[in-house]
């Protein structure tokens, strides 16, 4: 039997994990649904005309996704902080890769799918309720009323693919918190948040203060691909990397960050001791 990955053993581990945590997962999704109901109800109380427009629905979806997704990711390996649970986790007859893939399945993929389902289950109902209340109020006031539509939170706005990058950033940020849950022994969410902010500020300082001191007078015209130089003698000059290098760099920036953090989490789990 393969000591690194075996499909049958992984499926058994997935089933074991589900049997041990299904109640917790169900209650978590119910709590998310309840919070969404409370938030939408609050919006209907403070805004009597357009409480749940499409923009508000999309903002609610992504703010809730970031908050709950990062919090959930920071708890994926929380059992490693408790002695008996940590021993049980480490002695479970499954490889480190299988345990990590199980965490990614439940904490990344299924969480994203289930959160989206819960959001739309609540959103559809609350939009209908809001349309009913607002429509009745407008009818009494003899004013025209246009019902609010259920928003497609994945649709590009005016051809701008910002939603795509928001989703990519979400999976990268969630992966940071997943790594933090495996790295830190206690207070995973707070420690990961503080560490992430410190690393981000160091990178910003390094790019703007250190690297910027070596660069000629100018700005990046496109991220890391074109640099615009302001030369008094020759006017504005464009310095561009070869297309193939730019394509590789942009691809890695978009898609490689989250998998890279998963790899780091794998090696952290592999060396984990109680």
Residue 35 pLDDT class (50, 70, 90 cuts): very high
pLDDT at site 107: 92
pLDDT at site 116: 96
Return left, alpha or beta for 187; rule: phi > 0 is left, psi -120 to 50 is alpha, else beta. Answer: left
b/e string for 84-121 if b means 16 or more Cβ within 10 A? Answer: eebeebeeeebbbbbbbbbbbebbbeebbebbeebbbe
Cβ proximity of 173 and 66 under 8 Å? yes
For residue 68, which of 144, 160, 173 has the smallest C-alpha distance? 173
User: Average of pLDDT values for 232-247?
Assistant: 72
Residue 97 and residue 65: Cα distance in Å, rounded? Answer: 26
Burial status of residue 204 (CB atoms within 10 A of its CB: 0-12, 13-18, 19 or more): exposed
CA-based angle 16:21:26, to the nearest 5? 135
- β-strand partners of 98: none
pLDDT at site 14: 94
Widest CA span of the chain, in angstroms?
Answer: 74
For residue 188, which of 30, 264, 91, 78 has the smallest C-alpha distance? 78
Number of neighbours of residue 210 by Cβ within 10 angstroms: 9
- β-strand partners of 240: 226
pLDDT at site 31: 95
Q: Which residues contact 10 (CB under 8 A, 6 or more apart)?
A: 94, 98, 101, 102
Lowest mean pLDDT among 44-48, 118-122, 205-209: 205-209
Q: Which residues contact 37 (CB under 8 A, 6 or more apart)?
A: 122, 126
- β-strand partners of 237: 229
pLDDT at site 253: 82
What does the block give as tokens for 179? 């790594």
Instruction: Give tens-digit pLDDT for 47-94.
Output: 877 778 889 999 999 999 999 999 999 988 888 877 787 888 888 888
pLDDT at site 1: 59
Question: What is the residue-wise DSSP string for 32-62?
Answer: HHHHHHHHHHHHHHH-SSSTT-HHHHHHHHH
């Amino acid at each position: 039997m393969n000591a690194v990955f075996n499909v049958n053993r992984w499926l058994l581990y997935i089933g074991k994990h589900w049997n041990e945590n299904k109640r917790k997962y169900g209650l978590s999704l119910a709590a998310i649904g309840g919070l969404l109901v409370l938030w939408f109800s609050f919006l209907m109380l403070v805004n009597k005309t357009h409480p749940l427009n499409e923009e508000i629905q999309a903002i609610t979806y992504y703010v809730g996704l970031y908050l709950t997704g990062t919090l959930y990711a920071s708890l994926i390996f929380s059992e490693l902080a408790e002695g008996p649970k940590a021993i049980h986790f480490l002695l479970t007859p499954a490889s480190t890769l299988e345990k990590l893939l199980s965490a990614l399945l439940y904490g990344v993929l299924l969480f994203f799918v289930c959160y989206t389902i819960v959001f739309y289950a609540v959103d559809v109902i609350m939009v209908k309720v809001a349309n009913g209340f607002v429509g009745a109020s407008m009818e009494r006031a003899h004013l025209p009323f246009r019902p609010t539509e259920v928003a497609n939170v994945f649709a590009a706005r005016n051809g701008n693919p910002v939603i795509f990058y928001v989703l990519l950033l979400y999976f990268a940020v969630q992966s940071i918190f997943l790594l933090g849950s495996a790295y830190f022994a206690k207070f995973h969410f707070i420690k990961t948040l503080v560490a992430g902010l410190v690393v981000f500020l160091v990178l910003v300082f390094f790019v703007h203060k250190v690297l910027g001191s070596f660069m000629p007078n100018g700005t990046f015209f496109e991220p890391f691909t074109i640099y615009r130089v302001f030369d008094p003698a020759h006017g504005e000059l464009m310095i561009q990397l070869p297309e193939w290098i730019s394509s590789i760099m942009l691809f890695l920036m978009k898609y490689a960050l989250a998998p890279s953090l998963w790899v780091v989490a794998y090696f952290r789990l592999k060396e984990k001791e109680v």
